[in-house]
Amino acid sequence: MHRHQLHLQLDDMVKTQSGLWITAPLRTLVDCVGLLRPEAAVCALDGALHAGVVTATDLTAAVARLSGTPGCRRVASAVSVADGRAEAPPETLTRLLLLPVLPSLEPQVELFDQQGRLVARFDLGDRKRRLAVESDGKAAHSGPAMVAKDRRRDDRIEPYGWWTERVTWYEVRRQQTQTVRRILRRAERLGALGTAGAPASIASGSGSLWR
């Protein structure tokens, strides 16, 4: 048990329909970030941003208001790497794990064909290397049906010069060193290939669109 003393302002509180006063979503989120492990804190921020519970402007203002108070650096650090494009905690955890070695990875990168039709959307994507990283979560993509689905997707993106690496929850949480090395090796290979491994139309940038 840990006791925490809060200094609340009027806008930190909201009244529910039942008449109960509780801390507002932004204040609740900031308080949680100060208590959670760093990666869990960013997961909470990403989830709140993605759901529209708070905005990036809200978080920036909260950090400014907390300046000079205990725990302000912890909150500022989490806010600085939060990204509301992440759709699930495994994506956030994978991004945080790979961020130090592959800062060019972006959440929810979409690949379109020449007609503007969506070909694939990647959990994480490095546009320059055409590297996609998919987070499978606790329930990995196992079984014949999921394997077949993954293969069909790989077949769709292959003509565009993209390569997919898949990581499981266990790999991200319990085999971090091995996972980083594997993804980094693939990124280095794709970087060494440059545009030589992609069809000419794709390499020139005329064969696909990213959003």
Single-letter amino acid, residue 145:
A
Q: Are strands 131-135 and 163-167 parallel, antiparallel or unpaired?
A: parallel
Helix (H) or strand (E) holding 164, with range, is strand 163-167
Measured distance CA(105)–CA(94) in Å, rounded: 10
pLDDT given at position 117: 96
Instruction: State whether CATH 3.40.960 applies to domain 89-210.
Output: yes
Alpha-carbon torsion, ordered 33, 38, 44, 50, to 10 deg:
120
Cα 192 to Cα 11: distance, rounded to the nearest angstrom: 53
CA separation for the pair 91, 124 (Å, rounded): 7
Largest Cα separation within the chain, whole Å, is 65
The token pair that represents 55 in the structure block: 């905005």
The domain spans of the chain are: 10-81, 89-210
State the pLDDT at residue 5: 65
> Which pLDDT score is estimated for 203?
32
pLDDT tens per residue across all 211 residues of the chain: 666 667 788 789 999 999 999 999 999 999 999 889 999 999 999 999 999 999 999 999 999 999 998 889 999 999 999 999 999 999 999 999 999 999 999 999 999 999 999 999 999 999 999 999 999 865 555 566 777 888 898 899 999 999 999 999 999 999 999 999 999 999 999 998 764 444 433 333 333 443 4
pLDDT value, residue 4: 63
- C-alpha span between 108 and 135 (Å, rounded): 11
3-state class of 107 per DSSP?
A: strand
pLDDT value at residue 3: 65
At what angle are helices 38-51 and 25-33 packed, to 10 degrees?
A: 160
Burial code (b: 16+ CB inside 10 Å, e: under 16) for 96-124 equals: bbbeeebeebebbbebbeeeeeebbebbb
On the CB side of 47, CA atoms within 13 Å amount to: 14
Pairing state of beta strands 131-135 and 13-15? Answer: unpaired
Q: Among residues 199, 209, 194, 117, which one has the least CA distance to residue 159?
A: 199
Reading the block at residue 173, the tokens are 């949480």
